[in-house]
Structure 1
Amino acid sequence: MTRLQTAFDAIDKANAADPNRTDGQPDELLYGQRMTAEQEALYPGAAEPLRIACRGQHIERWKLPRKDFPMDRPGYLKWRTEQGRRHAARVAEIMRDAGYPDSDIEHAEKMLTKQGIKRDEDVQALEDVACFTFIRWYMGPFSQTRDAQEMQRIVERTARKMSAMARARALTEFTIPEPFSASFRD
């Protein structure tokens, strides 16, 4: 078995313990697999640290519930930052156990803690993959729980996080109605 497969198997095993289910599957296991599928489509030649960061982006996410933080924007940002730190530490542990060098582990940690969005191409690639995963799998159901104005802000923030390449590709891969599609144009 390769180091990559060892890391994927460990991430999947951890996420298989998620008590939250969608169609009978653990939510975070499904999310990790969806992230890998989007990464393979967007960045097929990705190096292993990026591939692992995509698979492990939400590793054991349920262990730190959103409800444990204030239900406002600052609370959300604090929760998301802490999740990134926890995900990076857990993925680093898995990569170390799989035999990856420190440089690869540190690079994956940098991606998972979002250090360098818009400046580091791999950090940006991870963000592009996460945005595509959100748009393809989660935006529709999510929009059912939000009003139009709030959804517009969410779509605008999502588009701002993406690279120009990913925004352009999103317009060709997804049916994004106006006024939302305007957020994806340069």
Structure 2
Amino acid sequence: MQQNILNKVLDDIDLFNLNDPNLQLDELGYEHPKELLYGQRMSKVLFEFMPSPSPELQIAARAQHIGRWLSPRGDYPEGRTGYLKWRTDLSKKHAQLCSDIMRRHQFEEASIEQVCGLLRKEKLKRNPLTQALEDVICLVFLEYYFIDFAAKHEQDKVLSIVKKTWGKMSEQGHEAALALKLSSEASDLIKLALAS
């Protein structure tokens, strides 16, 4: 696959996410559309975690939250059933939006199907690429979003989320997570969760 075609797909994912009306500050205090920033963080962490990821994995990482603002959590019922339905519908929406972009750039259907399978988290723990994507998702959460999440929730819930996150990761993911340069507060919460 030509690198310029891959770059065009990644650029089009970014262009789509530029439409996110929700804004978020980066580490330097600059404001960005929330899902644009998330996608770029996913790509950064992917290359730190896996120096030579496949084009399909690069696309899936960048498109992990494509158009997420179009399906608000508030549109679904409260509780676990509503949450799971929301997550399932989101993954299908991400796959559909991403496949549209890939087809526009004449990607092979096999590659499109592979990316859609990754975005739907198919064969987690059995497909190495799906597992790598899940590891990157968890690493991005821990590095960029965990401490803000922890500040908004009771400690019991925070510890439960850390345990669930840890359970989704591979041994390689665990090693990468333990090597993250986190705040002492974040590190202490993770240690507490893993010890309990």
3-state SS of the aligned residue for 2:86?
helix
Q: CA deviation at 1:63?
A: 0.3
Number of the residue aligned with 1:44: 51
3-state SS of the aligned residue for 2:6?
helix
Q: In structure 2, list runs of 5 or more residues that go unmatched.
A: 26-30
Number of the residue aligned with 1:112: 119
Specify which of 72, 75, 84 is matched with residue 79 of structure 2: 72
2:99 and 2:134 map into 1 onto residues whose CA distance is 19
Q: Which amino acid aligns with 2:193?
A: F
Between the aligned residues of both structures, percent identity stands at 38
Q: Which amino acid aligns with 1:18?
A: D
Q: CA deviation at 1:71?
A: 2.0
Q: What is the Cα-based RMSD across aligned positions, in Å?
A: 1.3
List aligned pairs for 1:132-151, cutoff 5 A: 132-151=139-158
Q: TM-score, normalised by structure 1?
A: 0.94
Q: Which amino acid aligns with 2:4?
A: T
Between 4-13 and 164-173, report the one with greater CA deviation.
164-173
Number of the residue aligned with 1:21: 23
Q: In structure 1, list runs of 5 or more residues that go unmatched.
A: none
3-state SS of the aligned residue for 1:17?
coil
| Native 8 Å contact 1:28 1:58 kept in 2 | yes
Number of the residue aligned with 2:9: 7
2:88 and 2:174 map into 1 onto residues whose CA distance is 24
**1:14-52 alpha-carbon deviations (Å, 9 max, x no partner):** 000000001321000000000000001001211100000
Q: CA deviation at 1:70?
A: 1.4
3-state SS of the aligned residue for 1:151?
helix
| Native 8 Å contact 1:116 1:123 kept in 2 | yes
Between 93-102 and 133-142, report the one with greater CA deviation.
93-102
| Native 8 Å contact 1:171 1:181 kept in 2 | no
Q: TM-score, normalised by structure 2?
A: 0.90
**1:93-132 alpha-carbon deviations (Å, 9 max, x no partner):** 1111112111110000000000011000000111011001
Number of the residue aligned with 2:192: 179
1:161 aligns with 2:168: yes
1:172 and 1:64 map into 2 onto residues whose CA distance is 34
